Structure 1
Amino acid sequence: MTSRADWTNTTHDWAASVDQAHLEAIRADPARYAPGGVRHLLLEVLAYPDDEAESTGARGRCEVELYGDGSIAVTDYGRGTDTRVDERGNVVKKPIMATKDLRFFDDPAAPSLPDGHPRRGMSVVAALSEWLVHTNRRANGAWTQRYEYGVPVGGLEPIAPDGTTGTTVHFRPIAGLAPLDGFPHLDISVVRLG
């Protein structure tokens, strides 16, 4: 175990699990951070399994489920979100939902998503969702955590491993965003539920 202060920050800063000011700024300007509404949020989520497939050199696969309550779940079968143990023995997950993505959020040259708008990161999805449930399965354990408007509600809840790895992000966007108006041309499986 190494000190949390010594962990290398690549995509997110491991020092804090929540950046309230960052989340509030996103919630204050949904038109800027979710241009096109729910479709943009879905593209933000789909960008992460795409990163995973690119970094591992394997062909990725994910499933998108649309629910009658307006929520959307995206499940991928990658390695799962990085989880570490700090010097006190606490399990710490990479703070992707409630902090800035260091690669994209403040970068004017951030890559565009398929809708032509800049990629900002998962914190945009979390902040602009009434609730979001992040379920993570890794070789060394599995857990779930709930967020409301980007803020964690409770800690990591262990779940039984099922022999798979990957991540599910299930979220219900805030009211007032433009509804999902169809999917971009992407290689995904789509399931409509309820």
Structure 2
Amino acid sequence: MSEDTNSYDATHITVLHGWEAIRKRPGMYVGSTSERGLHNTVFEVVGRAVNEVLAGRAGSVDVTLMTDSGVRVADDGPGVPVEAAGHTDGPGLEALLTRMPTEWRPVGRNTAALGPTVLGLCIPNALSSRLTAEVRREGTGWVQKYTHGVPVAPPTAVGPAADGGTTLTFWPDPDIFETAECSFAVLAERFRELAFLNRRLVISLTDARHLGEPRSVRFQSPGGAQDFVAFLDTPEESPVHPDVIGFEWEDQRMEGTAEVALRWCTSREERVHGFVNSLPTREGGTHVLGSRDGVANAVNAYARERRLLPAAHTDLRTEQICEGLTAIVSLKLDQPFFEGATRGTLGNPTVRPCVAEAVQEHLGDWLESHPEQAAAVVDRIVPGTPGS
């Protein structure tokens, strides 16, 4: 092979910028071009609106699936800043829709992650055939339209606005995605989870794609994780104790807050679901391990103290204790560390002992103050224990 054939220099490199790079390799940004990637695109847009609510700037989020495969996401916040209007308090509309986030991307315990990627509105904008942004801010309405991530014109003032808010309507590009039709069921399940995990959130989903009355659901959960556990327990699975045990705490050692809810039922299946900043950690992690440690320690300590186990009996194994347990372990961390690119496993090492200690303390207090229900829990694990 000649030297000329082997030559390689800067002329062989193609540099893609902005929307070009996103459209060239969409799977790098939303996971795939299948329905899963389509939903991750929706979650990016909805995530911005949800975080407006969690920050106390908005009260509700409304998502509508439109007849022409468009998706409309609206919030009643103050409206994002518009550069053309001279707003300077935060990233402006065009920056949000065209630039990858850097230092201004909100992170931490007061934000929610809806999908496995948190890359900003530039991703769904670039992967949409068109997008229309409507902003109502400080008494004026603004509109800007995009095509394939590129602005058609600068934001235009369209008249007075009586209230505040931001509405983003986008049409996922059928040349990129295998399907442009979102699943109502998949979106509803995720929005229901978000409402369980964030008490102040009110989020609605409307399906206007079919003739007749549109389907619409509204999610709000004042009971938080305790409502989540009650929802997961099916009617066929009788609870061992009627109460859903729930507690919350803050721990500076792990730089965050936690909420845990749990209940035993007659099923033999263990269902412990972990979440970090509202993102499901399907492979578990240190928070789930810590919760199981705490539950096992609390039950064993209570059983020993009340002599519900024979003196010669070894401690109950964690697997025994967690049979039939439904639990939600939700952490809000300032600096979550995930193992792997899919963020399915929490890796913060300090979390496990912190969660174990808190769960043992709070569950132990509940067992002490509910002796009849506590005895039923132990008898569920070791039938015929004394005092049951």
Same fold (TM > 0.5): yes
In structure 1, the residue corresponding to 2:131 is in which secondary structure?
Answer: strand
Shift of 1:112: 8.1
Q: Deviations over 1:144-193 (max 9, x none)?
A: 00001110001212122231101000000011425423211344211222
Task: Identify the structure with bigger relative contact order (alpha carbons < 8 Å, sequence gap 6+).
Answer: 1
Shift of 1:58: 5.3
Q: What is the alpha-carbon distance in structure 1 between the residues aligned to residue 50 and residue 81 of structure 2?
A: 16
Q: Does 1:23 align with 2:35?
A: no
Structure 1, unmatched stretches of 5+, are: 1-19, 87-91, 106-110
Q: What is the alpha-carbon distance in structure 2 between the residues aligned to residue 63 and residue 99 of structure 1?
A: 25
Q: Deviations over 1:107-149 (max 9, x none)?
A: xxxx98334x121100001000000000000014221000011
Q: What is the alpha-carbon distance in structure 2 between the residues aligned to residue 147 and residue 190 of structure 1?
A: 24
Shift of 1:59: 5.9
- Preserved CA contact (<8 Å) 1:112 1:118: no
Matched with 1:193 is 208
- Preserved CA contact (<8 Å) 1:104 1:119: no
Distance 1:191 1:140, change over 3 A: same
Matched with 2:51 is 51
- Preserved CA contact (<8 Å) 2:50 2:61: no
Describe how 1:54-69 pairs up with structure 2 within 5 A: 54-55=54-55, 57=56, 60-69=59-68
Distance 1:59 1:166, change over 3 A: closer
- Preserved CA contact (<8 Å) 2:58 2:76: no
Describe how 1:1-194 pairs up with structure 2 within 5 A: 21-35=17-31, 36-55=36-55, 57=56, 60-84=59-83, 85=85, 93-103=93-103, 113-115=113-115, 117-175=116-174, 176-177=176-177, 178=179, 179-181=181-183, 182-183=186-187, 184=190, 185=192, 186-187=194-195, 188-194=203-209
Q: Which amino acid aligns with 2:70?
A: S
Instruction: Give the aligned length.
Output: 164
Give the TM-score of the pair, scaled to structure 1.
0.74
- Preserved CA contact (<8 Å) 1:132 1:172: yes
Structure 2, unmatched stretches of 5+, are: 1-15, 87-91, 106-110, 196-202, 210-388
- Preserved CA contact (<8 Å) 2:127 2:149: yes
Distance 1:161 1:191, change over 3 A: farther
Distance 1:73 1:141, change over 3 A: same
Matched with 1:89 is none
Query: Greater helix percent: which structure?
Result: 2
Q: Runs of at least 4 residues of structure 1 off by over 3 A?
A: 111-115
In structure 2, the residue corresponding to 1:155 is in which secondary structure?
Answer: coil
Give the TM-score of the pair, scaled to structure 2.
0.39
- Preserved CA contact (<8 Å) 1:112 1:119: no
- Preserved CA contact (<8 Å) 1:132 1:146: yes
Q: What is the alpha-carbon distance in structure 2 between the residues aligned to residue 23 and residue 48 of structure 1?
A: 19
Task: Give % identity.
Answer: 26
Larger Rg: 2
Q: What is the alpha-carbon distance in structure 2 between the residues aligned to residue 59 and residue 153 of structure 1?
A: 29
